[in-house]
Structure 1
């Protein structure tokens, strides 16, 4: 008898002796494996989809039970005249952001002292009237003029000058002589606007933004046409020192006394360091509310005034790339802040 035959005899003797004892052990281990089994671990496509749909169904039922229990607890508290139980706050990237020392605080006297003497204080205090010059890069695109035309309607007291072959420094000196407070350069690439350069005059600073997801007015469904009234300005979530500086730069482009009669609203909403631009006008409409009595007869109630928003466009997103001291200088300029790839190591780290 060879080696294989002896091995089989040994295995057979071991199985006869301990067959009853090993059965419960293997069953418990298989049960644990089944509990830990994930759909991604299954190679069979049909079984994988079945288990995935089953887990999804169970999760949906569990969520529905939680909602019913919460509604029942709220109803019970209302009947007893007690306070409603606190609802859990869902975790998001915004409310779990990393702690930042540069977040502005309402009792920061040093910050308010800086704001009183910064480059935008004269415009924001009303000592100077905002006057904006808009130009392009040397090689303009097909959508560039359309975008600039809509920017001129958004920003009051703004004017356009053709760039031609002039250097940007010569344009800055020209703008200073004509008493402009800001200069906006629309940069284009492959016939598409892809960047904005906002320069505060006369002493800077210069902010370079990446521009993306541009939608012009003609491409917005049911868009409205804005009036020439000065708009209201809304700035959201500019919480850090850098965000406060960028917010004040944007604020200095627009007049500080809006004309509410035009019902125009310009919004710069910062979310995860992306600045979303929207331009709306709010509309008041009168609608009759209909009520039914016990005999199912419609009775007209007095008219209700309903407010709604109508988008005027354009629509785009800005991402801050650099913030430079003084006016634009590509060679010897000093940067207050510059975005670098190593800053993107964490999804919960924001700078604005």
Structure 2
């Protein structure tokens, strides 16, 4: 009996030592990675599965859900709007209503549902008490979780000269501009993993650009716009149709807040880098249009 008690105590001490070592490693990492442009920011994430999406071997599928916990009537209105816009942005995405907080058990259950539906990504939408609309993109392939605040959102119906996209619109060609920093490169791969590989033109064997999702990264902001190539009827029957780019929408900016790593088994979050925000109100940034 005494030997069993000694063994149990020894195991508890070993467990405590292991936890203390893990906390020490995480604390050390927090000291090392304090900026979102740190070259070690995305080092923990396995790129192999993401490569399969970019090559077209895996077709991505996204599960979108909301926090389901409202603090005022205003949030009840805002959160469904952001959910609706994310469904229009990310192809092959579905939505489920969630009524639980984002704790490890809740995220674990969400991942089980997502895997049953063969999803490769989760998008968690939250309208928080500070009045911010935020989303978290979680890759179910390597556990990367990037946090963003939605700023300067213009719904598609409020866009000037907004064009209705055709019902049979192809999967968009994703154009990434200025994702050259260390944070930008990791973000670029994470965002692209939510989009299927663009179909190719049978004649030129190049990506078809009739439908284009445009992302641009600058100063911690990701700018998004969506266009499609519209064919206008010629005034004279002999003339060729006029091709023009029409904006489909929506239009918004994402303020990059930080990165965590999610355990695909337990749903636990491991902090990688989440700097404290220097401001709570996103400044009005001019939305640029990258070349297609």
Q: Tell me the TM-score normalized by structure 1.
A: 0.54
Q: State whether residues 131 and 179 of structure 1, in contact with CA within 8 Å, keep that contact through their aligned partners in structure 2.
A: yes
The verdict on how the C-alpha distance between 1:199 and 1:331 changes in structure 2, with shifts beyond 3 A counting, is: closer
Structure with larger Rg: 1
Q: State whether residues 225 and 249 of structure 2, in contact with CA within 8 Å, keep that contact through their aligned partners in structure 1.
A: yes
Q: Specify which of 147, 162, 166 is matched with residue 223 of structure 1.
A: 162
Deviations 1:253-306 (A, max 9, x none): 000133777822111111222110111112233556xxxxxxxxxxx9x74654
Deviations 1:100-157 (A, max 9, x none): 995xxxxxxxx9xx99944512322333210100001123521332332333233221
More off after superposition, 190-199 vs 245-254: 190-199
SS in 2 for 1:254: coil
Deviations 1:14-40 (A, max 9, x none): xxxxxxxxxxxxxxxxxxxxxxxxxxx
Q: Specify which of 184, 187, 194 is matched with residue 243 of structure 1.
A: 184
Q: State whether residues 142 and 192 of structure 1, in contact with CA within 8 Å, keep that contact through their aligned partners in structure 2.
A: no
Distance 2:89 2:179 in 1: 21
Q: State whether residues 68 and 97 of structure 2, in contact with CA within 8 Å, keep that contact through their aligned partners in structure 1.
A: no
Q: Specify which of 86, 102, 118 is matched with residue 151 of structure 1.
A: 86
Q: Specify which of 40, 63, 79 is matched with residue 133 of structure 1.
A: 63
Q: Specify which of 260, 270, 278 is matched with residue 333 of structure 1.
A: 270
Aligned-pair CA distance for 1:178:
2.9
Aligned-pair CA distance for 1:172:
1.9
The verdict on how the C-alpha distance between 1:193 and 1:304 changes in structure 2, with shifts beyond 3 A counting, is: farther
Q: How does 1:250-329 map to 2 (within 5 A)?
A: 250-258=191-199, 263-285=210-232, 303=239, 305-327=241-263
Whether 2:174 is the aligned partner of 1:233: answer: yes
Count of matched residue positions in the alignment of Structure 1 and Structure 2: 222
SS in 2 for 1:319: strand
Task: Kindly indicate which of the two structures has a greater share of residues assigned to helix.
Answer: 1
Distance 2:263 2:121 in 1: 10
Structure 2 unaligned regions, length at least 5: 1-36, 71-75, 202-207, 279-292
Structure 1 unaligned regions, length at least 5: 1-99, 103-110, 289-299, 343-352
Distance 1:266 1:177 in 2: 28
SS in 1 for 2:262: coil
1:173 corresponds in structure 2 to: 112
1:105 corresponds in structure 2 to: none
Aligned-pair CA distance for 1:332:
5.6
The verdict on how the C-alpha distance between 1:101 and 1:311 changes in structure 2, with shifts beyond 3 A counting, is: same
Distance 2:180 2:45 in 1: 14
Q: Specify which of 172, 187, 211 is matched with residue 150 of structure 2.
A: 211
RMSD: 3.5
Q: Tell me the TM-score normalized by structure 2.
A: 0.65
1:95 corresponds in structure 2 to: none
Aligned-pair CA distance for 1:248:
0.4
Deviations 1:180-223 (A, max 9, x none): 10000111136976111000004311000111111111111221
The verdict on how the C-alpha distance between 1:338 and 1:192 changes in structure 2, with shifts beyond 3 A counting, is: closer
Distance 2:161 2:225 in 1: 15
